[in-house]
A and B are shown apart, each in its own frame.
Chain A
Amino acid sequence: MTDERYVSLGAPADDEFTLLELADRLLNKGVVLTGEATISVAGVDLIYLGLNVVLTAVENLKHTDDTAARDHSG
């Protein structure tokens, strides 16, 4: 069912929902011109995730890509 890591510790405050909805649109909606989008959160409904998780995913995505690239060439 829901991955425990992605459950907010408490119910988000109302203004957190605004940011969640906006972040979800910025990361999952909007036009993409090429299949090689530089960012993706694997199509997971971001409204699932606590705000900190969403922002951490954004910040860590590039590190993940870098690590994968190193592993492949190693």
Chain B
Amino acid sequence: MRGRPLIALTVADLTAWATETPLEAWTRDDLLAHHALVVRIDAAANGCLPARFATPVTEVLLRERYADLARALDRVEGCAELAVTVVRGRPAPAGEASDARPNDTVQTGGATPPGTAYLRTRAATMALARRLAEQLDAAAGQELIEADHRLAPSNAVLLSSALLVERAAAEAVKARLPRVSDDVRILVHGPWPPYSFAVVDVPTREE
């Protein structure tokens, strides 16, 4: 990153790749450089455990967390993730309010619908998101190892999902996913290194 060499920190059979950088403001290029490095390491090894951007690492930390890291790596080794974003097919016209199209109410700029109507609309949106998630799981089929679905995380996004698959199956699964459904568009990104499934419990500190 930033032209600085990668440093390998090794404990037993685990190697962490890091860059020594002074603390300063991070930029968009750093984000993308981090991702590019993760992709390269992931391709060179049989897979990797992506680390969160800018998270610190030391040999001491590696040694302390070895068991957790080894377990987490076993889980995602050789795997990739597909990222899916489901968005509405077209934005609702401004000011339109219709009982038959609950999604539109959520889309209307500015105006907050009355409480009950909002909850009904929200429930309908969540139900739609849940159906879409099930649709994705079914389309991904047997090669889907695990899925992480976020239902209706924002006005613009109906569903944001991470699908864990074996790297060898990634392109096939990607091709299998639908791109349209009713009034929505389904955007599929990746395959990426398995960020969403790289989970290690962070030790809590007693204050």
Interface set of A (CB-CB < 8 Å, partner B): 1-2, 7-8, 11-12, 14, 17-18, 20-39, 45, 47-48, 55, 58-63
Q: Interface on chain B toward A: helix, strand, loop, or mixed SS?
A: loop
- Known contacts A14-B187, A33-B56, A39-B54; is-contact A25 B153 (Cβ 8 Å): no
List residues 6-30 of chain B with CB under 8 A from any CB of chain A. 23-28, 30
Set of chain B residues within 8 Å of A14, measured between Cβ atoms: 185, 187
A22 near B189 with CB under 8 A, answer yes
Q: In the complex, A38 Cα to B57 Cα: how many Å?
A: 11
Residue of A nearest to B31 (CB): A26
A33 near B62 with CB under 8 A, answer yes
List residues 126-180 of chain B with CB under 8 A from any CB of chain A. 150, 153-157, 160, 162
Set of chain A residues within 8 Å of B202, measured between Cβ atoms: 32-35
- Known contacts A11-B87, A14-B187, A29-B196; is-contact A59 B31 (Cβ 8 Å): no
List residues 47-98 of chain B with CB under 8 A from any CB of chain A. 49-57, 61-62, 65, 69, 72, 83, 85, 87, 91
Besides A1-B112, A37-B52, 17 new A-B residue pairs in contact (Cβ under 8 A), listed by A number: A17-B87, A22-B31, A23-B31, A24-B160, A25-B83, A27-B31, A29-B196, A30-B195, A30-B198, A32-B52, A32-B202, A38-B55, A45-B154, A58-B30, A58-B31, A59-B27, A62-B26
